[in-house]
Amino acid sequence: MNTSAASGNSSLTSTSASTLNGPSEYGFTATTADLFLANPAPHGQHGSSPGRVVRLDRNRVLVASNSGLVHLPYPDHGLVPATGDWVWLGHNRAGEPAVVEVLPRHSALSRKRAFESSSEEQILGSNIDVVAVVVPMDRPLTHNRLERTLVAAWDSGATPLVVITKADLADVADDVVSEVILQAAGVDVITTSAEQGDGLDELRQHIPAGATLVLLGPSGAGKSTLINALAGRDLQQTGAVRTGDGKGRHTTTSRELVPLADGAVLMDTPGVRGFGLFDAEDGVDEMFGDLDELFALCRFGDCSHQSEPGCAVQDALVDGTLDQRRWQSYLKLQRELAALSRKHDAAARRAYQREWHQKVMSADRGQRAVERYRHDQAAERSGKRRKR
């Protein structure tokens, strides 16, 4: 990341935030201008200008500048751009327009790449202010999925929000909303019906001018319909949802920024089938803060929360104040993050291997001791029989 001061580039010493122009319809504000001034363009890039990544295509990057949208090649160094990145626009070595620098991100929504063997991070979007987890009312609520997505939302550095869609299609709306509010404690929950226009004004209050909101949810959850309703025009294709798997027929296929009339920005995303967490310890702490309070009540500081006497977690599971499903979800997330950490951290991996080696050796020694004991007992009994 380029974090050098603006004074380090003579081409910007006379530039101020008030004279630096960027794509205001894509969230460029005075605060954004300060970010550019604090991270000047690379040396030799005179006349460079601010831009924001609107969409990533296979071989090109769609960038919004003060003069409009332009397709540019990927930068040949530095950070790989993500949708939502603020970038310096200049020229490459061939003199062609290009992205020459990706600025530091104040937030980033990420997940582990989809294939199981990977431990790489996939940035879904950056410089996001609000992550709206979309929960459609026309299908059963998946508790583990909601928890997992909220963990990623907390960990992104943005503010989590839950948006319930298609409220007009369900007869059990109140029950679902109550469940979501209980599970997403500490997170605002908005119930919407894009078809009826319900809840849209409340949602707009969470994305003031210059703010960026990302809609995150499964395919067919109503994200595109919601975007069209917020924009007041058809920006995204929508279609019927298949009854077999709940997927939309004409849903979003790429992450893309969508400007709204009031200066706010929406980031539409494809339906996310799975959400492998990546380095999300902070998000887990936020989502499961009630468990930390229980851990502090355990009799022993190193309690494993399994069978120790005085374990507050086990007591809470017995008396029903802690839901068994929630506890198992927490354990699963912790195992997943620990496995990911071992892939990244060679020292942690070696420590993990040593720990298991010691356990195996200990178990082996214990087994040999049992066998020796049994052998000695058998020999003793045999000797007594001979004496008789």
Q: What one-character-per-residue DSSP string does 269-322 give?
A: ----S--B--S-HHHHHHHTHHHHHHHTTSSSTT--SSS-TT-HHHHHHHHTSS
* pLDDT at residue 72, rounded to an integer: 93
Give residue 17's pLDDT: 56
Span 29-67, pLDDT tens digits: 999 999 999 999 887 677 789 999 999 988 899 999 999
Q: How many CA atoms lie within 13 A of 74 on its CB side?
A: 14
112-to-78, 144, 148, 284, 334 alpha-carbon distances in Å: 21, 17, 12, 15, 14
| 243 has pLDDT over 50 | no
Mean pLDDT (the chain, rounded): 76
Residue 140: the pLDDT is 74
The yes-or-no verdict on residue 342 having pLDDT over 60 is: no
The CA distances from residue 255 to 134, 185, 264, 295, 357, in Å, are: 15, 28, 17, 39, 45
229/120: higher pLDDT: 229
Between CA 248 and CA 333 the distance in angstroms is 29
Q: What is the pLDDT of residue 351?
A: 61
CA distance 159 to 302: 33
Using DSSP's 3-state secondary structure scheme, residue 327 falls into helix
Give the span between the Cα atoms of 309 and 314, in whole angstroms: 9
With vertex at residue 149, the alpha carbon angle to CA 114 and CA 205, rounded to the nearest 5 degrees, is: 130
d(CA 89, CA 66): 11
184/205: higher pLDDT: 205
pLDDT higher for 275 or 21? 21
Q: Which of 154-158, 221-225, 256-260 comes out lowest in average pLDDT?
A: 221-225
Q: Which long-range contacts (CB under 8 A, 24 or more apart) does 334-341 make?
A: 334/284, 336/276, 336/277, 337/277, 337/279, 337/280, 337/281, 337/284, 340/112, 340/119, 340/277, 340/278, 340/279, 341/279
Average pLDDT of the residues in 182-205: 86
- Residue 80 has what pLDDT? 86
Owner of token pair 């802690």 = 322
**Could you tell me the pLDDT band of residue 9, with boundaries at 50, 70 and 90?**
very low
Contact (CB, 8 A) for 120 and 163: no
pLDDT at 144: 76
| pLDDT tops 80 at residue 165 | yes
Residue 8 has pLDDT above 60, yes or no: no
Q: Average pLDDT, stretch 246-261?
A: 66
Strand partners, 344: none
Query: 1 pLDDT band (50/70/90 cuts)?
Result: very low
- pLDDT of 281 higher than 60: no
The model's confidence at residue 285, banded by pLDDT at 50, 70 and 90, is: low
Cα distances from 98 to residues 195, 250, 273, in angstroms, run 41, 32, 33
Gap between the Cα atoms of 118 and 222, Å rounded: 30
Which range scores top for mean pLDDT: 147-151, 170-174, 207-211, 293-297?
A: 207-211
Give the end-to-end CA distance of the chain in Å, rounded to a whole number.
86
CB-based contacts of 51, cutoff 8 Å, min separation 6: 22, 23, 63, 64, 65, 86, 87, 88, 89, 99
CB 192 within 8 A of CB 199: yes
Instruction: Dump pLDDT digits (tens) for 115-124.
Output: 444 446 678 8
Q: pLDDT value at position 12? A: 42
Q: How far is CA 226 from CA 106, 232, 354, 372, in A?
A: 26, 10, 52, 71
Cβ–Cβ < 8 Å for 81, 59? no
Q: What is the pLDDT of residue 54?
A: 95
In the chain, the percentage of residues whose pLDDT exceeds 90 is: 21
Higher pLDDT, 297 or 366: 297
**Cα-based torsion angle of the residue sequence 17, 18, 24, 26 in order, rounded to the nearest 10 degrees:** 0
Confidence of residue 358 (pLDDT cuts 50, 70, 90): low
DSSP reduced 3-state for 62? strand
Which of these ranges, 11-25, 157-171, 269-283, has the smallest mean pLDDT? 269-283
Residue 184 pLDDT: 79
Q: Which two tokens stand for residue 153?
A: 């939302």
Give the percent of the chain with pLDDT over 70. 67
